[in-house]
Structures are given as structure tokens and as C-alpha cells.
Structure 1
């Protein structure tokens, strides 16, 4: 006989059924607000950086402010799982586990409603638009965020391929900086029988693809350029092309290295365009800074894991994938940690991925213990 899901597994499954894309999370935010209103937080902040929400639980005494962050948004991926709580939205689903992250923080809010921090305050933040890299910075730049002024910020991300409930963390870079580069080359069309009468971007495009791929070889440390798309002209055998587009993803372990890689990539694009008498324009999308854990934040995570008996591994290297949480540790102490979601789980962003509900108590326990170590509270378990 199947076990009855916990209340917060049901919250997770409800959110899973009703996913929303980045910057469209209004109904998700309303669902979260309905749950938290019953918990009677001391203050509710709405429309943070878009559809973001923050719930403040105040302690009796002055002290530090600790912020626990999760994400509201889903992905433009068609779910293929046959689940009783399968996504109701065609082409949209929670394939990164943000539904699970929200359930964990909702469980934490429920606990805080009956166990206020002894010193300072705790904030449960539901951030919009993590998948685009724009949400965290919009939250931090929002005027309302200046009222929150967190001293500590923490977040987790589930990680398929690792043992269920195992925590992975490290001081320093936890996630790479990354950004999408769009290079547009423009020349002049001509008849394909007389290409000399036009200006084709074909040679510049081919040199640019090779040059971008080899660019990291000229730099030290981990740097990566992945060409993700390229197009040239139109499907017209009688026409020599005038336009080309090359798109690439740039990754580095530090923001300083990213600035250098960007400069080199732009210089390469301009050189190739000039050599072939083309005009060039460059655009950027999905810009993520490096997510850097502070030493103090890392120590709080490891201490909490030890206290609640959760296996915790100190990673030697950060992850290549990106996360926009790094903006929070630019303004406060803090850390992000990974939480193993099963060695046989489908990977993140796969159409058959599903966040495991059995992970909710572990994430909750680690966050609760982090708060106990920083703010303290009378535990009424």
C-alpha cells in the first residue's frame, strides 16, 4: 500500500501541476501566498523583482537577518511522465525541481510560524526568473529589498546523480559564471553566379566558430566556449548570403575571468568582421554571475549537516552549470549547497525528471539547523 504523501509533498505536487515560466509566475506566487498567510508571518513583501515574495518572521531580540531563498519558475519543457500530478500546462513543467525547493521553504515557514527565531529575523524568499539569470539581481535591486537587509543568505539545489539526501558544498565558487553571446554578421547579397558582387559572411562565420571554440586555450584556469547555434543566409541556391548568426555560451569560474573572456570574444568577432568587410553586432542573453560561497556561509552549512546527521561532502571543484544565487552572496554572507536527489534520477531539464518528495524533510532539516545556529529559537518539536 502506498504511503500517504506529507502535507508538503502535496504542496510540491500542487505546484508541479501548475508550472509557470520565468516572469509569468503570478499564480504560483498567489498559491505560495495563500499557504503563508495561514502561517501569520510578521510581514509579507510582494512583487519583489517581478512576482517575488518574501515572508518575514521576527524574533524577540535584535540579531542577524537570515534569508532562505527558493525559486518560483518552471521550464519550457513538455513533461513525458505519467503522474497523477502531471503538469496541466502544455509545454511547461518543473524540470529543475523548483517545485521541490518551494515545498522545502514552505515547510520551513510552517515551522517558523510556531518557532520564531530567538534573535534577529528569518526571511523566506520566493524568487522569480532564476532560469533566465535575471531574477536575483532584480530582487536585490528592488527598493523593497533594502528593507530586508539580510546578513546571511542560503539556498539549495537538488542534484540528480548523487546519493539521496547527500549534501555537497564548498567555499568559493560553487557555480560558474555564464552568458549567451549572439553575434550577427551583415554583408551584402548578390547572385550566386557572381558572389564577387556581394559581401558574404560565410568565411568570417566559419573562422569565428573555430576561433570561439579555441579561445579558452589562450587563457588560464577553467574557461569554456560552446557554440550552440549558427545560421547563414537563406535556403536560396541563386543567392549569395548577406547575413549570418553565431550563438555561443561562455563559462568561467570567476566574474573576473568572464570579463576577460567576453573581451577576447568581442575582439575576435570584430576582427573577423573587419577582415571580411562586414558589419557586426553583439547581444547578450541569460547572463549569470558566478555563485560564490563565503567561508562563513560554507561553515554554517557543514555544521548544520553534522548536527542533523546528514552526510556532507566538501567538493574540490564547483559546478559548470550556472545559478543566479551569487548576487546574494555579493551583499551578504552565505552559501548554496547541492542536495543529492538520487543516483538513478533523470538529470535536471530532462522531460522525465521529477523532484523526489522524500528529499523535502532533509532540505527542511538542514535549513532549520542553519537558522538555529545563527538566530536560535525555542524548538517546540
Structure 2
């Protein structure tokens, strides 16, 4: 074990400090400063800041040539009010670390301590703290940042804690592990009228009534195979909250979800064609926009093999669990230029679910996750 008991105590308190002061996507300046200070305290050979926004990377150089191996954590919390009664609950109204990113950062902080005490023999170890994971924009911004070219990992690894699995048990598979998804906003433009004379306007109400079930009908879930598709209507509004105005504008928000990026292309085409047909039929203007765009995560066999060896060496039980999973993860972008894989670490079978207002990261996972990643780094870099 490369961590001392004192390390575990201090890293736990560091994690709880992050939990008290969360930042949401795109606003992680304070968290990034805390991370950079931690990396500096371990003597990182280089600290890169401002990656894709507030991203931070700590680089630990080996003495000999070798691969660059990156381990990623996330900086951001969520815009949700925490209701937990733990002493370290969020002190920021309406914001909280309810997905465990504070714990993922603590795992990388543990790696930083270990790498600071003993550098890799060869290659480079990179600890990447990514911004804006929750809205799907962060990884793309990091990868497109010119500073990322200086990192250019050959391998990339990540984990996510997962309530519903036994505490400390891991899940890992090759191939797709989490779905592609994106938020689709459909805007329908007509013409308002007096509520007593709606015939003089052009209401989008009938179009909304047709589109909502039709969109859902494009994908109702089912087995997580290549044909999996799901459309969830998450929000809709028609007109203004007034009794004297017949509506002239409407919006429908829907989340599109498929197992793979290729499947997403087909689902997007079908959803756009449906919206266009209904708008044309009703004589309405149409605008479509997307946000929260997540690629699917694909675990490369070679990267999975490294994680399997590390899990076995550290006696961490694992199987395929319930993978692949419906939720999306922003880590998939890093697989474009690196041999990448992520695994999932159980947070407890009865632990509050991710994004629940009473969720809190289990501190016992800090040492377990750090052991697996450090074993991976030592096996690959010496």
C-alpha cells in the first residue's frame, strides 16, 4: 500500500473540503485552484492549468522514454440543493457534489502523493482534472485546447463510483460501457392571437400534442444492444402563462439516447425528420438546437487488460456488473486519441443514487480506487 494511514485521513478531509465548496460546470475556478495547489505540494514536474476552461493536469516525468498514461477525474458538481445532514454538506446554496466527483478528485490526489514520492521509471503519468463533465462539454474543450497536444496520452483511464453495487466491487467490460446522449430542443413558431379569437393566430399546441408521443415512440429503450434507442421528453411549454393570449410559440426538450455514436446519428435523423414533418403540416416555423452532447464510451481491449490485471493484483473483486449502462459519461472523447477504458466502483447496494439530494461519496473508495490506478501506472511505467 503506497498510502499511509495519515494520507488516508488527510485525503478524506481534503475530499470533504471539496464537498463543502462545490462549483458547477464551467465555473470551477475555485476547485481548479485547490487542485493545482495540491499538485504543487507533491512536486509535480509540470502543472498545466486552463485546459478547456478550468481543467488542470499534473505531469510526473519518468527517467526513460515510454508511454504517456493519463488518469482522469472531474471537477464539477451539480446545480442541486443538498439535503444531507453530514457535517461536510455543501455550504453553497443550490450546488452540491452529488455525483462523487469530489471523491474521484481525491483518488487522483492520492495518486499525486504516490507519484510525488516515487516518479515513474519511464514515460509520463498525467493526472487530468477535467471541467464541465456534467453537461458533456468539458472533454471536447480539453481535447481541442492546444495545450492538450503537449499531453497527448497514449492511454487514458477513469472510474466512476456506482451506487447499487456492493461497496468496493468493480465492474468492467470491453466495448461500449455507457450510452451516447444529447439534449434536443425543438422550437415551434406560429402567431399569437387574442384568446377569444384563436382563429386569427397560429397555435403550435396541436403540433406539441402530436410531437410528444411521436418522439417517445422513436425509442422506448429495451436491451442495450446496437439497436437500443430511447427518447425521453424532459420539458415542454406552449405560449405564455396568460389567459388572454392564444399561443404562438412552443418548445419541446427531449433527451436522445443510443448505445453507440453511430446509432445516435440515425436517431437524430429520425427525430429531425419527424419535427420537420409536423411543423410543415401545421404551417409552423421550426428551429432545432442541441446541447449536453455526450459521445458513447468505448473500452479498448488493451486498456481493459491493464485494468483487469490491476484489479486482480489488488484483490478487488470485479465482474461485468450491469454494463453497459444507460447513463452517459464525458470520458468517451479521450478515446479518440488514446487507448482508453473506464471501470465502475461500487458505492454500496443501498447507497443513495447518483444525483440524489442526499448522496455523498463513500470515503472508503478513495484508497481502493487509488490502489487500482497506482498498480496500473506502476505496471505500465515502472
Could you tell me the TM-score, scaled by structure 1's length? Answer: 0.95
Which residue, 231, 256, 276 being the options, matches 2:262? 256
Distance 2:31 2:220 in 1: 44
Which residue, 306, 309, 316 being the options, matches 1:310? 316
Considering only aligned residues, what root-mean-square deviation do their CA atoms show, in Å? 1.6
Deviation at 1:217, TM superposition (A): 6.5
Q: Which deviates more, 82-91 or 148-157? A: 82-91
For residues 138-287 of structure 1, the aligned pairs below 5 Å read 138-216=141-219, 221-287=227-293
Tell whether the 8 Å contact from 2:215 to 2:231 is kept in structure 1 after alignment.
Answer: yes
Which residue, 316, 339, 342 being the options, matches 1:336? 342
SS at match of 1:203: helix
Distance 2:250 2:158 in 1: 41
Distance 2:378 2:70 in 1: 13
For residues 53-68 of structure 1, the aligned pairs below 5 Å read 53-68=56-71
Distance 1:50 1:194 in 2: 51
Tell whether the 8 Å contact from 2:74 to 2:133 is kept in structure 1 after alignment.
Answer: yes
Deviation at 1:176, TM superposition (A): 0.4
Point out where structure 2 has 5 or more consecutive residues left out of the alignment: none
Residue in 2 that maps onto 1:111: 114
Q: Does 1:352 align with 2:358?
A: yes
Task: Give the direction of change, closer, same or farther, for the CA distance of 1:317–1:31 in structure 2 (3 Å limit).
Answer: closer
SS at match of 1:144: helix
Distance 2:103 2:242 in 1: 49
SS at match of 2:19: helix
Which residue, 11, 14, 18 being the options, matches 1:15? 18
Residue in 2 that maps onto 1:379: none
Which residue, 119, 128, 131 being the options, matches 2:131? 128
Distance 2:349 2:209 in 1: 40
Distance 1:30 1:218 in 2: 41
Deviation at 1:79, TM superposition (A): 1.1
Tell whether the 8 Å contact from 1:170 to 1:316 is kept in structure 2 after alignment.
Answer: no
Task: Give the direction of change, closer, same or farther, for the CA distance of 1:74–1:63 in structure 2 (3 Å limit).
Answer: same
Residue in 2 that maps onto 1:295: 301
Could you tell me the TM-score, scaled by structure 2's length? Answer: 0.95
SS at match of 2:255: strand
Tell whether the 8 Å contact from 2:158 to 2:331 is kept in structure 1 after alignment.
Answer: yes
Deviation at 1:16, TM superposition (A): 0.7
Distance 2:332 2:185 in 1: 24
Deviations 1:310-363 (A, max 9, x none): 001124641100111001111110201110011111001011000011111100
Q: Does 1:84 align with 2:90?
A: no
Task: Give the direction of change, closer, same or farther, for the CA distance of 1:218–1:62 in structure 2 (3 Å limit).
Answer: closer
SS at match of 1:6: helix
Residue in 1 that maps onto 2:49: 46
Task: Give the direction of change, closer, same or farther, for the CA distance of 1:315–1:262 in structure 2 (3 Å limit).
Answer: same
Residue in 1 that maps onto 2:103: 100
Q: Give the count of matched residue pairs.
A: 374
Deviation at 1:35, TM superposition (A): 1.4
